[in-house]
């Protein structure tokens, strides 16, 4: 079974310590949500896990072997990454962009699967009707879904998703995470950075809560997403309520009596 392990990862960027002593392990079949306030180091940790950033201390093992200095092509067959921001320099069509996910399998026996996987991935990400559109002409949410389809087409056993739901409407937020869930059910290890804690509660097997570059808690959603912990880490009163068996995380909003700006 595939596994991705970060142990004692520390990283300093531009003189600021972003991560210190972070431990995180993900194995096949699991969805792990990375949550935490702005600047807690979520995206940086994802960068370290994907091999983009080399940690100052600690190590990342992918499938038991150090991720550092492994050839890009070999890595691409084992882990796929969805970045927060998608860009494309030229006007490629959606289908061509999704096919780019298959590049690492070029001239391997798995390349026979290209057509099937591209088509399947477009359908799973609900972008099949956009196949012939030019990527730069799509809306932000559509671009995010096309990039998600590209990541799925890569057919890697480890998926690293940085805020895949940020630009999406409610329906597609649910759809993308449901696909991530089903990919995990087929044996993939999925790490997903999320801001929406209720989404994390609904779709993650484990929630890893980062706070100022350290792991504040790591465990099942029910254990990590508690009112006391979240209130402390986010520095804002947070309530966790159970609605028909699913956890919903809501900030406490102070209703100001006689607000000065209220229309009279």
Partner 1 sequence: MTATASAPASQAPVRARKRGALGRVGLLGGLTGALLVAMVVAAGRGQLDVPPTEVLGSVFHRLGLDLGPLPHHPQGENTLWRVRFPRVATAALAGAALATAGALMQGVFGNPLAEPGVVGVSSGAAVGAASVIVFGWTFAGTWSAAAAAFVAGLVTTLLVYALSRDGGRTETVTLVLTGIALNAMTSAGLAFLMFLGDQQAREEIVFWTLGSLNGSRWEQVAVIAPLTGVGLVAALALSRQLDLLALGDRAARHVGVDVERLRLTTIVVVALLTAAAVSFCGIIAFVGLVVPHLIRLVSGPGHRLLVPASALGGAVLLVLADLWARTAIEYADLPIGMLTSLVGGPFFFWLLRRARRTAGGWA
User: What residue ranges bind partner 1 (CB under 8 A)?
Assistant: 50, 52, 71-77, 79-81, 83, 86-93, 95-97, 100-101, 103-104, 106, 115, 118-119, 122-123, 126, 128-129, 131-132, 134, 136-137, 147, 150, 154
Distances from the Cα of 117 to the Cα of 97, 149, 180, 189, angstroms:
13, 10, 16, 19
Q: Which is nearer to partner 1, 171 or 255 (CB)?
A: 171
Nearest approach, Cβ of 248 to partner 1 (angstroms)?
Answer: 28
Q: Which is nearer to partner 1, 145 or 206 (CB)?
A: 145
Nearest approach, Cβ of 17 to partner 1 (angstroms)?
Answer: 18
> What are the φ and ψ backbone dihedral angles of 42, each rounded to 5 degrees?
-60, -55
Nearest approach, Cβ of 19 to partner 1 (angstroms)?
Answer: 18
Name which of 195, 144, 160 is nearest 40 in CA terms.
Answer: 195
Rounded Cα distance between 29 and 133, Å, is: 34
Nearest approach, Cβ of 229 to partner 1 (angstroms)?
Answer: 32
Q: Which is nearer to partner 1, 134 or 248 (CB)?
A: 134
Nearest approach, Cβ of 45 to partner 1 (angstroms)?
Answer: 15
User: 106 Cβ partners below 8 Å, 6+ apart?
Assistant: none
Q: Which is nearer to partner 1, 126 or 196 (CB)?
A: 126
Residue with tokens 């949550």: 35
Q: Which is nearer to partner 1, 37 or 141 (CB)?
A: 141
What pairing do the DSSP bridges indicate for beta strands 57-62 and 65-66?
antiparallel
Q: Which is nearer to partner 1, 11 or 238 (CB)?
A: 11
Helix, strand or coil for residue 37? coil
Do residues 129 and 145 lie in contact, with contact meaning Cβ atoms separated by under 8 Å? no
Q: DSSP class of residue 5?
A: E
Nearest approach, Cβ of 92 to partner 1 (angstroms)?
Answer: 6
- The CA-based angle 15-17-18, given to 5 degrees, is 120
């Amino acid at each position: 079974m595939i596994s991705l392990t970060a142990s004692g990862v520390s990283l300093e960027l531009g003189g600021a310590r972003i991560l210190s002593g972070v431990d995180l392990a993900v194995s096949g079949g699991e969805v792990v949500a990375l949550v935490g306030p702005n600047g807690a180091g979520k995206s940086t940790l994802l960068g370290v896990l994907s091999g983009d950033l080399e940690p100052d201390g600690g190590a990342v093992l992918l499938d038991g072997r150090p991720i550092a200095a492994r050839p890009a092509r070999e890595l691409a067959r084992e882990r796929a990454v969805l970045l927060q921001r998608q860009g494309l320099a030229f006007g490629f069509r959606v289908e061509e962009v999704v096919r780019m996910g298959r590049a690492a399998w070029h001239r391997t026996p798995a390349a026979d699967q290209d057509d099937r996987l591209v088509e399947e991935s477009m359908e799973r990400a609900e972008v099949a009707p956009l196949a012939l559109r030019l990527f730069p002409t799509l809306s932000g949410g559509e671009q995010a879904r096309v990039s998600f389809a590209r990541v799925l087409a890569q057919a890697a056993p480890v998926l690293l998703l940085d805020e895949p739901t940020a630009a999406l409407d409610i329906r597609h937020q649910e759809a993308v995470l449901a696909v991530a869930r089903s990919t995990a059910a087929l044996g993939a290890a999925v790490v997903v950075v999320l801001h929406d804690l209720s989404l994390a509660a609904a779709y993650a097997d484990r929630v890893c809560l980062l706070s100022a570059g350290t792991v504040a808690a790591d465990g099942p959603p029910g254990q990590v997403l508690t009112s006391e912990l979240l209130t402390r880490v986010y520095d804002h009163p947070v309530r966790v309520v159970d609605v028909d068996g699913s956890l919903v995380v809501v900030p406490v909003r102070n209703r100001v009596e006689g607000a000065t700006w209220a229309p009279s």
